[in-house]
Copies of this chain bind each other. A is one copy, B any other.
């Protein structure tokens, strides 16, 4: 039976593909430190669970396709604190940030159109682009440059008449880079000159460290009809399994069209939306404390990684990932070896191999993404194991 080329050409998640091997390792009695996935160990605020149990309707009904009123109003209020003004019809609630990105791409790209993305990038952008029939055209950001954007001309040379949008995450998953206002203004200039949308995935925007000034794409002047904002409660409130996100834009024509996509899937989980509405704006200190906790973990991970011979990495400015270069030829093979053939003190470690975050073949093969949203002792233990593993790994090499 012939399946679609679209689905055959999609990739399995590089972040999740090693899970069966990790499960096997655990069945063999090993402890596996799972630094592969962005699943925080921080508890979800009580107000979310209160919102769940407060739901006292007798029927779990469809709600409006655009989302429930209290949740949209909560988001509007929360953005005001960041000097971002949204009106009621400029926000649509989605099934996590994932659906928001997919809807944004669907709305601006036809099959064969191009999406410009700085690489490395969150690997599911590839999947969403494939689903939308769009082609990912990457431009390179380099570890030597802190994964900041390249000069304008390097981006422009990738643009052609099928280019429709630039898709960024900021802070960047998987590098932890936070773009400066100057970098965003450069992208804005490009968007104006070449008539592009900018899809800005800001699901980590509240996790920026070291008093770095965070600039949202929504803060760029005279560009607001070109900006599509992606947000989610998943990371900020440690509620990944709630699947509550949003797509937002001051471009009301665009939002009116995206409503068609929302109507096609009827609505987002009703109870989860009310719970999320009960969550946002109720906890001034929560995100501040979480940010503080992630900063401590980042410091621990960064300091430790830096001490491992042959490992190269930057100190992340935001989000909760480090993209590190290892002294091995192929981190895919190394990751499998760690789960199948290695243990130290009856423990091993799992991370996301770097190649999955690049669209260009051959790039990222000696890089890995490590998540530090897990317990600090686990981070320390995992890095000891990583060091011990690198000492004995047969295919170790010097950094190229």
Contacts and interface: CB of A to CB of B under 8 A. Distances in A.
A133 interface: yes
Interface string A40-51: 111110001000
A263 B127 contact: yes
A271 B239 CA distance: 11
Interface stretch (A2-10, A210-218, A391-399): A2-10
A41 B243 CA distance: 26
B128 A238 contact: no
Given A16-B65, A272-B269, A60 B241 contact: yes
B241 A269 contact: yes
Contact of A59 (B108, B238, B259): B238
A1 B241 contact: no
B99 A4 contact: no
Q: In this complex, which of A6, A257, A264 has the most chain B Cβ atoms within 10 angstroms of its Cβ?
A: A264
Nearest to A56: B49
Interface string A127-138: 110010100000
A267 B243 contact: yes
- Number of copies of this chain that the complex holds: 2
A106 B6 contact: yes
A328 interface: no
A185 interface: no
B106 A4 contact: yes
Contacts of A242: 60, 269-271
A44 B59 contact: yes
Interface stretch (A109-117, A309-317, A334-342): A109-117
Given A7-B257, A53-B53, A197 B1 contact: yes
Interface in A1-47: 1-8, 10-13, 16, 37, 39-44
A247 to B, nearest CB: 13
A41 B60 CA distance: 10
A275 B272 CA distance: 12
A260 B10 contact: yes
A98 interface: yes
B265 A96 contact: yes
Contact of A195 (B2, B41, B124, B195): B2
With most chain B CB atoms within 10 A of its CB, the pick from A2, A61, A96 is A61
